Structure formats: structure tokens, C-alpha cells
């Protein structure tokens, strides 16, 4: 691994750590609308240390330049594992919903059974294979 | 008294360093957000609903207490971008 990659990983970890701390001490909601269309909502539940991110319109993921996304599946999974571990260390459960329905949970309360075989992580739980697959398709379509 | 002054000055430096570290980790994220919006000709609305950020007092590496912070954010924040054609047409 090059020094640059190591530096980027350290920076990414520091950002993930800052985000986890921000989540830990926050309560309330942030709704994001793009061109007046509900796109994303974040619900910070401080008492239960849960953060729910509801993806209402996956086109938000299509906003990034595809040339930036040069990570393979293995690297993406590795990054997800690290982020999930950082959430776990900060006692946070981060759930991703698709149009109000739970798809994946990362961190503290993730209790994977079958999904451990797929992700190889104790901190990532696939709540609904159906919703996760749909979310994946939505994101692919948007790119 | 002199010790107290030194302690206060050291604590000030520590808080300054922490603030610098936090600001430097947030600035690339803000830059990314602006980059992604540039030239997209779109309107993004961030609606903050009773968002409370309550950072508790922490104990620093030397056992010194580092100050707490409380923010409350309510309201909407809109970012609009417009693509303007810089190339003049030649007839």
C-alpha cells in the first residue's frame, strides 16, 4: 500500500470518528430536498444512540463523479467494516432505510446472523435483503 | 499565581489545537459538497428540525477539563447553483 493511501485512510478514519462523535451528541432531524423533492432525511435519536438515514431518492448518490469511485467491492466492504467498527466503538447504531423501510444497520446494535457470512463483520447487519437489494439497484440506476 | 497563569495558557492552547483539528477535518467535506453542487444547476434545501448538538465537558490528556459546547439549529438552509454559459456565441 502506498503512503498516499495510508494517509487517505487515516484522514477517512479521522472524518468517520468526528462524524460518529457528532452523531453521538446530536438529537433532532435534518431533511434534505433536491429541486424540492424529498431526497434524504437524518434522524438523530440521542437517547437511544441511534441515527436513521432514510434514502428517499437515491439520485443523491448519482451526484458524485463516477471517476471518483475507483474502489472495488472488496475495498468498499473493507471501508464499511471500518466505519461500522468506529460506530460500534462510539456506542452508535446507524441504520440506513430505503423509503422508510430498514435495509442495513451498522455499529452498536447490529446483531448479524446470516449477514456475518456475507460481510465478514460483527458490526454490519442486513435488516432486509429485499430493501438492501432495491437500494443497491436505485443507486446503480442513479449513476 | 504564576502556575495558574501557565495552566490557563496551556489549556487555551489545547482547546485551540482541538478546534483546529475539528475544523481541518470538516473543511474537506464542505469542499466536496460545494464541488458536487458546482455546475449542477440545482437547488438543495437543508431543513434543520430542532437539531441539538450538545458536546459534554471532556477531560484532556493531562487531566485538564476541556470546555463543553451546546448548539441548537432550527430552520432552512438553501443552496442554489446556476450554470452560466461563459462562451459567447459567434454569428
**Which residues of A make CB contacts under 8 Å with B?**
11, 14-15, 18, 22, 25-36, 44, 46, 63-64
Percent of chain B topping pLDDT 90 = 14
- Residue B56 is classified by DSSP as P
- First CA to last CA distance, chain A: 28
Percent of chain A topping pLDDT 90 = 26
Tell me what the mean pLDDT of segment A51-71 comes to: 73
Q: Which residues of B touch A86 (CB under 8 A)?
A: none
Tell me what the mean pLDDT of segment B30-55 comes to: 77
Domain ranges for chain B, please list them. 2-80
Tell me what the mean pLDDT of segment A68-97 comes to: 79
Tell me what the mean pLDDT of segment A111-137 comes to: 81
Q: Which residues of B touch A15 (CB under 8 A)?
A: 25, 28-29
Q: Which residues of B touch A24 (CB under 8 A)?
A: none
Per-residue confidence at A66, pLDDT binned at 50, 70, 90?
low
Higher pLDDT, B90 or B24: B24
Determine the Cα angle at A87 with ends B21 and A5, to 5°.
60
Q: Decide if pLDDT at B39 tops 80.
A: no
Asked if the C-beta of B45 comes within 8 angstroms of chain A's C-beta atoms, the answer is: yes
Per-residue confidence at B46, pLDDT binned at 50, 70, 90?
very high
- Give me the pLDDT at residue A71, please: 61
Asked if the C-beta of B19 comes within 8 angstroms of chain A's C-beta atoms, the answer is: no
Tell me what the mean pLDDT of segment B43-57 comes to: 89
Which phi and psi angles does B54 have, rounded to 5°? -130, 95
At A75, list the grid cell. 475495498
Asked if the C-beta of B36 comes within 8 angstroms of chain A's C-beta atoms, the answer is: yes
pTM of this prediction?
0.70
Predicted-complex ipTM score: 0.76
Cα B20 to Cα B16, B24, B31, distances in angstroms: 6, 6, 17
Tell me what the mean pLDDT of segment B56-75 comes to: 82
Closest by Cβ to B36, choosing from A26, A35, A63: A63
Closest by Cβ to A25, choosing from B22, B44, B53: B53
Higher pLDDT, B67 or A127: A127
Owning domain of residue A13? 3-142
Least confident of A17-26, A105-114, B22-31, B71-80: B22-31
Closest by Cβ to A15, choosing from B29, B53, B54: B29
Higher pLDDT, B23 or A103: A103
Q: What pLDDT, in 10s, does the model give residues B12-24? A: 666 566 656 655 6
| Interchain CB distance below 8 Å, B53 and A63 | no
Per-residue confidence at A2, pLDDT binned at 50, 70, 90?
very low
Tell me what the mean pLDDT of segment A52-69 comes to: 74
Tell me if residue A31 falls in helix, strand or coil.
Answer: strand
Domain count, chain A: 1
At A4, list the grid cell. 498516499
- Give me the pLDDT at residue A4, please: 47
| Interchain CB distance below 8 Å, B25 and A46 | no
Amino acid at each position: 500500500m502506498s503512503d498516499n493511501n495510508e494517509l487517505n485512510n487515516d484522514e477517512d478514519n479521522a472524518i468517520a470518528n468526528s462524524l460518529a462523535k457528532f452523531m453521538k451528541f446530536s438529537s433532532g432531524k435534518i431533511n434534505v430536498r433536491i429541486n424540492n423533492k424529498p431526497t434524504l432525511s437524518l434522524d438523530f435519536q440521542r437517547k437511544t444512540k441511534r441515527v436513521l438515514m432514510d434514502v428517499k431518492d437515491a439520485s443523491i448518490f448519482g451526484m458524485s463523479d463516477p471517476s471518483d469511485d475507483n474502489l472495488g467491492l472488496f475495498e468498499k466492504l473493507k471501508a464499511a467494516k471500518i466505519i461500522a467498527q468506529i460506530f460500534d466503538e462510539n456506542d452508535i447504531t446507524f441504520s440506513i432505510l430505503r423509503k422508510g423501510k430498514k435495509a442495513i444497520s451498522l455499529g452498536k446494535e447490529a446483531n448479524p446472523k446470516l449477514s456475518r457470512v456475507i460481510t465478514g463483520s460483527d458490526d454490519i447487519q442486513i435488516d432486509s435483503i429485499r430493501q438492501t437489494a432495491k437500494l443497491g439497484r436505485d443507486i446503480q440506476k442513479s449513476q | 499565581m504564576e502556575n495558574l497563569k501557565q495552566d490557563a495558557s496551556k489549556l487555551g492552547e489545547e482547546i485551540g489545537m482541538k478546534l483546529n483539528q475539528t475544523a481541518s477535518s470538516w473543511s474537506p467535506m464542505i469542499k466536496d459538497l460545494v464541488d458536487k453542487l458546482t455546475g449542477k444547476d440545482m437547488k438543495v434545501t437543508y431543513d434543520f428540525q430542532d437539531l441539538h448538538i450538545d458536546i459534554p465537558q471532556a477531560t484532556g490528556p493531562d487531566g485538564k477539563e476541556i470546555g463543553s459546547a451546546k448548539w441548537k439549529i432550527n430552520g432552512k438552509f438553501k443552496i442554489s447553483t446556476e450554470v452560466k454559459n461563459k462562451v459567447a456565441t459567434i454569428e
